[in-house]
Amino acid sequence: MEKMRIVLTGGAGFIGSHLTAFLLDRGHAVVVIDNFITGRRKNLQQFIETPEFELIEHDVSNYIDVSGSVDFVLHFASPASPIDYLRYPIQTMKAGALGTLNSLGLSKKKKAKFFLASTSEVYGDPQVHPQKEDYWGYVNPIGPRSVYDESKRFAEAMTMAYHTHHAIDTRIVRIFNTFGPHMRPDDGRVIPTFILQCLKGKPVTIFGTGEQTRSFCYITDLVEGIYKLMNTDYHYPVNIGNPLEIGINELASIIGNIIGSEIQIEYKELPRDDPQCRKPDISKAKELLSWQPKVDLKTGLSKTIAWFRKNAGK
């Protein structure tokens, strides 16, 4: 890919900070836009002295103005964990609706390509398993998770409308559960929660019976898939995730074994509309991008646990 100037909204977040590093390493200039509602400044600290890096503190639900030329706009800004989007429901919907509109507006103004970070949450509590891109989903439009689910569904519709009516060169990735270093310890997602509970010798909290399943993709695999999708001219959604499916009880056991702690499990009531299964069909990514995950779950968990041991209290 030719060297580009890339605007990345939400670049201080977990995925955004890894993507920033990846793009800078490949010689691109990166302009990060973040209001730090859930992103963290320390995720970007290593880039501050890099000439190709620029940081703009801004809420993307307001008009976005970036001086100079822009080749690609990547819209990743949004609270992304249940704890965050239940704490910030209006801001989540604004990021998905107004943030997408303003990011697309910047792309149109600068004649830049556009990339939307969507989510497996558009499938809701799926009635089809595994989930393919042509599945329309099973989403409660007024449930507690709808502020995230529906904002991303709207964002996809907005992106396709700009592609169809304004000829914007767009991409859409549907991101499945991803983990790795830089996750916030308090973001409520299952892997950082289990790791911290085990490290502190506390009971592991599992909602429901623990028989529900998820699939987990390590961050480096996700970022590679995103970059490959940027390099295509495919305009429709593409699943990026790891199809290895695992039960939550088994996940807790694996994390406990790696840490070397004997875990105790505390079961709690399952939250409303929590999906029972989540597994990507990645046939499209394999065919279109020649992509599939390389990092196995235990290796990724070991790397993540090592990072949390050093950084959890910082």
Q: Is 123 a catalytic residue?
A: no
Taking a C-beta distance cutoff of 8 angstroms, is the pair 112, 130 a contact? Answer: no
Q: Which amino acid is at 100?
A: T
Comparing CA positions, the residue from 87, 97, 86 lying closest to residue 61 is 97
* Angle (deg, nearest 10), helices 190-199 and 297-311: 60
* DSSP string computed for the chain: ----EEEEETTTSHHHHHHHHHHHHTT-EEEEEE--SSS-GGGTGGGTT-TTEEEEE--TTS-----S--SEEEE--S--SHHHHHHSHHHHHHHHHHHHHHHHHHHHHHT-EEEEEEEGGGGBS-SSSSB-TT---B--TTSTTHHHHHHHHHHHHHHHHHHHHH---EEEEEE--EE-TT--TTS--HHHHHHHHHHTTPPEEEETTS--EEE-EEHHHHHHHHHHHHTS---SEEEES---EEEHHHHHHHHHHHHT----EEEEPPPTT--S---B--HHHHHHH-----S-HHHHHHHHHHHHHHHTT-
Among the listed residues 88, 135, 138, 148, the single catalytic one is 148
Taking a C-beta distance cutoff of 8 angstroms, is the pair 280, 131 a contact? Answer: yes
Contact residues for 23 (Cβ-Cβ < 8 A; gap 6+): 6, 8, 30, 227
Catalytic residues: 148
